[in-house]
Amino acid sequence: MTTCILAGLARYPRFPLLHEATPIERLARLEQHLAPALNGVQLYVKRDDHMRLGGGGNKLRKLEFLLGQALADGADTVITVGGLQSNHARLTAAAAALAGLQCELVLTRQVQRDDADYEYSGNVLLDGLFGARVHALPGSVHGLAWANERADALRAQGRKVAVLPTGGSTPLGSLGYAVCAQEIVQQSQQMGLAFQQVIVPNGSAGTHAGLSAGFAALGLSASLVRSHAVLADAPVSRQRTWELAQQALALLGSEANIALEEIDVDGAQRGAGYGATTPAMLDAVRLLARTQGLLLDPVYSGKAFAGMLADIAAGRYAPGQSILFVMTGGTPGLYAYRATFG
């Protein structure tokens, strides 16, 4: 089955951004701290924050395929969209610099904040350092429509422009997490483990969709993945994830099928909305930092980790089961939330 997924991926151009498979580590100190509340559940993390380019993070997996296609199409400029503190935007800027592409970022104010930390620190600071041209716009602006108009203007000047949507979450971009699913299967076999659940945050849905498609193509259940919604509410996130997963499967050339019921999205950690802090998120970020020295971000992984802890406390997992949390990066965003954590 592994050969099958490799053959499907080989049909698409890739711009290499990862140097090796990201490591899987056991959270031994956290387990000691939480025992006996863990009830014998074993906790592992896959370090997708542990990447060498641009501060690391899950978007690099998607950008391997998206920039690979852009370069194959002869693009000289890439434009993408997101919130003001977008991790995807920051990593697009870094990857574009490595690829020799001009980069423009269309960032809308989706979070109701205008303090200096949020406006100028964190990812926004890094966007400029990576050489991107930033268009910071009101939250009422439709970012992708604005980006397409900007792309048309640049094309009229003779530029060749690729436009990437929020989070890089297209069917093609989602293939980056089909690769991750394959890594997890290979690493778990090497470690002599069987993970009962793989947990991720769900924003633009591409991470969950790619993992589900990858596992399905490898003969496993798409329900192995559970995500926690941080952008849209759970029903909208579930539908979007399902559609993307099916489209990614088609790109892989797989005959596997994913039912909507296999897409497991929980919405309990979303709080008031995207980028809004919650007490559970704050506790989760502090807990992992103070037991393992690892950093979650306040928008995505902090809420998802809080969701995993809530599931464990509710008895969702049996004693002895092994749970894998995918650390998707985004730690520069912590600096934009300095006052919140202070």
Q: Which residues are catalytic?
A: 86
CA neighbours within 13 Å on the CB side: how many for 22? 28
Burial of 14 (0-12, 13-18, 19+ CB in 10 A): buried
Give the alpha-carbon dihedral of 296, 81, 228, 341, to 10 degrees. 30
Whether 213 contacts 174, CB under 8 Å: yes
Whether 167 contacts 294, CB under 8 Å: no
Residues linked to residue 57 through DSSP beta bridges, in sequence order? 329
| Coil/strand/helix, residue 51 | coil
Q: If you count them, how many residues does the chain have?
A: 342
Task: Give the 3-state DSSP-derived string for 309-338, with helices as H, strands as E and coil as C.
Answer: HHHHHCCCCCCCCEEEEEECECCCHHHHCH
Instruction: Please tell me the distance from the alpha carbon of residue 311 to that of residue 299, in angstroms, as a whole number.
Output: 19
Residues linked to residue 161 through DSSP beta bridges, in sequence order? 77
CA 103 to chain centre: 20
Which runs of consecutive H residues, i.e. helices, occur in the chain?
Answer: 2-9, 28-34, 59-72, 87-99, 116-120, 122-129, 143-156, 171-191, 206-217, 234-252, 279-292, 301-313, 333-336, 338-341
For 272, list phi and psi in degrees, rounded to 5. Answer: -75, -10
